Amino acid sequence: MRIGLILGDQLSLELATLRVLDHDRDRLLLAEVGAEATYVKHHKQKIALIFSAMRHFAVELRQRGWQVDYHHYNPLQPNLSLSEVLQAQASLFGADEVVVTRCGEYRLQHEIDSRWSQALGIPVQVCEDDRFVCSPDEFAAWAEGRRQLRMEYFYREMRRRTGLLMENGEPVGGQWNFDADNRNPWRGEVPVPAQLDFELDSVDREVLALVAEHFPAHPGTLESFRWGTIREQALAALEHFIAHRLPWFGDYQDAMVQGEDYLFHSLLSPYLNCGLLTPLEVCEAAERAWWRQEAPLNAVEGFIRQIIGWREYVRGIYWLRMPEYAQENRLGNERALPAMYWHGQTRMACMRECFRNTFDHAYAHHIQRLMVTGNFALLAGIRPAEICDWYLAVYADAYDWVELPNTLGMVMHADGGYLGSKPYAASGSYINRMSDYCRHCEYNVKTATDDDSCPFNSLYWHFVARHREAFAAIPRMQMIYRSFERMVDEKKSALQQRAERLLANLDGI
């Protein structure tokens, strides 16, 4: 008899583990354990989403004839690990093998590969997670010999492999990428559709009560929890996005608006990343909308690129470069993460709004993460490991394989440009162009050296100046350095002084 361990990000009937096992002879195990819920302080809604989705998935598996053992979270053993639960189950049933699909974190996978078989006294079979389009081995083969791993070229390979938005071997519309059409601010031209919420059932309510009682110190609130926790709800969320948001997703995917927490974004990434949806079914649904002329090509292509392009690309980099990748800090950043990242209180309206959305919903869209909270961490020189742990903790869709390359590589440029050719650094003018946040702020986005000047402005030029040696030769940065050189010395000095005052008191901003 074998035991198949199913993890909280593997809640899919298409999981490789289920194809390997025999439901008449073998058993499945799902386990809520404190060690996985607390190794970083995960958002309360993230814990609730995973625990509730696991409980619902266990019910579905039993209905399909599987023998399922479910370990509920035990507050009397808050530090219990997965291996300890598995060891007890294997001993109880006399298992002769454990089967598990490759998990989403190097930390846990390394433990499985190096320790579990010896600790359990039986073999551990690790299946490849073929819910993804590209396996780690296939990505490594693509990357071999390339000086720089350009996502655009990898994305084209994924388009050819899947056939998505392809016709006669060529991309529909005559080009691969329509990103230039996807950078509009939103000024109310199109009404934002109502958000799809899901009614809580008894399992959801039980889990929410458990999380409230036993994880009170974790960030975020549970009051606005409305995530779907079963596949049918995830499919409803996909259908809602395709019908009501996808047509305008492309135009406004980079926009930010005070009080509009979702705009035209899909909110599907938590379902994709825990297994309730698969990437290909999501992309195929978007593609059908284009073929039916229900959504424009720039929106559909941009959405598909995020999934089979960027999502697959960062996973490939993660498994190619770990564990050394997690230690990268090429810019030498050593400043501690400001406390405002945990309590959300700041005089900067943009940061305050992104924190509010994060703590209210365990969600913020990619530009809020990259160009507001991430941009601030980059400019302020925050230690990469600390900001990586924060992103891993506070978002419902955050798993190490997707969070770490995005944060360490794209947000913090800590890998020396391996993932991105230039740092995603910007002054307040970018935020002002793409949002209405500055209209709600006590700081002045039009100035840089006054006491009420937008902190992003002087911090940006301080960042440019202190990293001149690293960035001046990058072609996409040369115009910025030419602008810096044209500044008079008095302005450079004033910018430096303003930034140094801010850096000395980040939690007073």
Together in a domain, 313 and 355: no
Residue 409 domain-assigned (yes or no):
yes
Enclosing domain of residue 179? 136-193+245-321
What CATH number is given to the structural domain containing 9?
Answer: 3.40.50.620
The residues, any chain, with a CB within 8 Å of residue 221's CB and separated by 6 or more, are 44, 45, 359, 360
Residue where one domain finishes, among candidates 82, 104, 127: 127
Q: CA distances (Å), 494 to each of 231, 270, 394, 456, in order? A: 56, 44, 36, 14
Give dist(CA 457, CA 242) in Å, integer: 38
User: Could you say which DSSP state residue 167 is in?
Assistant: E
Residue where one domain finishes, among candidates 70, 99, 127: 127
Together in a domain, 74 and 183: no
**Structure confidence at residue 300 (pLDDT):** 97
Pairing of strands 97-101, 124-127: parallel
Residue 200 domain-assigned (yes or no):
no
Structure tokens at 393: 């903790």
Together in a domain, 121 and 148: no
The residues, any chain, with a CB within 8 Å of residue 390's CB and separated by 6 or more, are 337, 341, 342
What CATH number is given to the structural domain containing 453?
Answer: 1.10.579.10
Q: Is the distance from CB of 386 to CB of 70 less than 8 angstroms?
A: no
Together in a domain, 371 and 458: yes
Give dist(CA 325, CA 105) in Å, integer: 13
**In this structure, how many other beta carbons lie within 10 angstroms of the beta carbon of residue 38?**
16
Residue 413 domain-assigned (yes or no):
yes
Give dist(CA 443, CA 15) in Å, integer: 50
Residue 326 domain-assigned (yes or no):
no
Residue 451 domain-assigned (yes or no):
yes
Cα 58 from chain centroid? 25
Predicted confidence pLDDT, tens digits, the chain (509 residues): 999 999 999 999 999 999 999 989 999 999 999 989 888 999 999 999 999 999 999 999 999 999 999 999 999 888 888 999 999 998 889 999 999 999 999 999 999 999 999 998 999 999 999 999 999 999 999 999 887 788 999 999 999 999 999 999 999 999 999 888 778 999 988 999 998 989 999 999 999 999 999 999 999 999 999 999 999 999 999 999 999 999 999 999 999 999 999 999 999 999 999 999 999 999 999 999 999 999 999 999 999 999 999 999 999 999 999 999 999 999 999 999 999 999 999 999 999 999 999 999 999 999 999 999 999 999 999 999 999 999 999 999 999 999 999 999 999 999 998 888 889 999 999 999 999 999 999 999 999 999 999 999 999 999 999 999 889 888 888 889 999 999 999 999 999 999 999 999 999 99
Together in a domain, 306 and 164: yes
What pTM value is reported for the model?
0.95
Strand partners, 28: 4, 68
Together in a domain, 60 and 168: no
Alpha helices, DSSP H, located in 70-125:
82-93, 106-111, 117-120
Residue 356 domain-assigned (yes or no):
yes
Q: CA distances (Å), 499 to each of 205, 259, 278, 288, 507, in order? A: 47, 29, 45, 50, 14
Q: Is the distance from CB of 3 to CB of 29 less than 8 angstroms?
A: yes
Together in a domain, 156 and 274: yes
Together in a domain, 379 and 410: yes
Give dist(CA 497, CA 144) in Å, integer: 46
Residue 142 domain-assigned (yes or no):
yes
**Structure confidence at residue 148 (pLDDT):** 79
Round the average pLDDT of the chain to a whole number and report it: 95
Together in a domain, 143 and 277: yes
**In this structure, how many other beta carbons lie within 10 angstroms of the beta carbon of residue 248?**
22
Structure tokens at 481: 């350095």
Structure tokens at 357: 């959305």
Alpha helices, DSSP H, located in 130-187:
136-143, 151-162
Amino acid at 228: G
The SS3 assignment for 281 reads helix
The SS3 assignment for 150 reads coil
Together in a domain, 47 and 173: no
For the chain, how many structural domains are there in total? 3
What CATH number is given to the structural domain containing 310?
Answer: 1.25.40.80
Sign of the torsion angle spanned by Cα atoms 460, 463, 464, 470: negative
- The contacts found for 420-423 with CB under 8 angstroms, 24 or more apart, are 421/148, 421/474, 421/476, 422/471, 422/474, 422/476, 422/477, 423/378, 423/463, 423/467, 423/471, 423/477
Alpha helices, DSSP H, located in 163-275:
202-214, 231-244, 246-252, 269-274
Is residue 270 reached through a cis peptide bond, with omega within 30 degrees of 0 on the bond before it? no
Residue 399 domain-assigned (yes or no):
yes
Angle at 377 between CA 333 and CA 493, to 5 degrees: 75
Q: CA distances (Å), 256 to each of 262, 270, 401, 406, in order? A: 9, 20, 26, 20
Together in a domain, 180 and 35: no
